[in-house]
Structures are given as structure tokens and as C-alpha cells.
Amino acid sequence: MTSRVLALLALVAGLVVFTGGTASACQCVERTAKDRMEGAAAVFTGTVTRVGASSDGSSGGHVIAVLRADHVYKGEAREWFQVSTRKEGPACGYDFAAGSRHLVFAGGRDMALTTSSCSGSKQVPSGDRPLRRDDDEGLTGELIAALGTPTRVRHTSTAEPAITEPAAQSTAQSAAQPTAAQPAGPNGGTGVLVAALVAVGVVALAAVGGWAYRRRSST
């Protein structure tokens, strides 16, 4: 009896380790293109001119990308945008690279715009024309319809703005209170709940094992 209980405890302990590993992965809630548009503060296409690390000191860190916009689908039509994202993929960070063009769904406002791998942002073909369905297989008819007609950005300046650190308070609020354009966190809390349930199971099995051992010893 005791050996069987100990074997079960070992199995459950293995599940705890496995669950803890998967809880660190980024999982996104499925949303329609229309929902992403409605939840975003700014939606635009632009080319990355610079990527720098943020010194906000938050867990995992952030990177800040400066993009020169060519078309704006939602929000203020301006030439330059600064967008921050988590540095690491498991934290739902989005990958920006200098010279690449992206369709960006951003939350926040002004110089504190943020995006993530769950926001709907995606790399698109280079150029400066409005997005079309046949530009890329990821540009579905649903997405193009949700984007609607963009405003073309007039490039009047050639000077690239310096990266400006978002206010510490804004960055903290962005991390603690995700907007519709950001993930609620890795696994949306599911991994934490499962880990807690497994932990309860370990305690229960330990109690049963101790009771069985004492009963066997008394006999």
C-alpha cells in the first residue's frame, strides 16, 4: 500500500514540474480581426528604423521600436511611432527588426504605445502601399475588411526621433493591467490554476500515505 502511494506521489510531482514548465509559455486568446481593431488604440503599417532596450527595470525587460509609418488604419496619422514590447517570446514579446515592415496593433497612448505577440501585429511585405489581400497569406479577407480604408501618411521630416522612455508609471500600468491589445499573461492564468490543483493533490496523497503507513505500523 505504502509503495503504491509513494509511486503516485512521484507521478504527481512529475506533473507539477511539467505544469510549471508549460505555464511559462505564451498563449493567446483567440480574437477576431474586428475585435482587435476595436481594442487597439492605434493601428498602422510602418518600417522599423531602430530597436533599443528599455531601462524600465521591469521583469523580463522591454524593447522599444521606432517605426516610420506609411498608412494609419486607426488613431492619429503621424509619421513616427514608438512602440514597446516585452523582450522575450515566453512573455508574449513581439519581434521587431530594423528594416522590416509591420502591421501594428498597439494599445496605450502617445509615447507609451505597446504591442505583443497576442495583439495581432504581424510582419508584412516591404513597401509603402496600403495592404491588400494578395500581399501575404496572413492578410485574410476578414482582416482587410476590418482594417478598412487607411489614411496615407505624408512624410514631411527626415529626422528620426530619439527613443523616449515611457513614464515608469505608464509602463507599470501597462504590465499590470493589460489592454485589449495585450495578453492577460502567459496561459491566461490557466497554468497557475492547474499547478495549484496539482499541489492540492500532492498534499492529499501525502496525507493518505501517512495514514496508511501509521495504520500498517499499528497492526
Confidence band, pLDDT 50/70/90 cuts, at residue 200 = very low
Q: Is the pLDDT of residue 16 over 50?
A: no
Res 186: pLDDT? 40
Res 24: pLDDT? 57
Confidence band, pLDDT 50/70/90 cuts, at residue 153 = very high
**Rounded to two decimals, what is the model's pTM?**
0.66
- CA distances to 40, 65, 134, 145 from 141, rounded to whole Å, are 19, 28, 9, 6
Res 175: pLDDT? 38
Res 163: pLDDT? 81
Residue 181 and residue 119 in contact, taking contact as beta carbons nearer than 8 Å: yes
Cell numbers that stand for 4 in this block: 503504491
134: left (phi over 0), alpha (psi -120 to 50) or beta: alpha
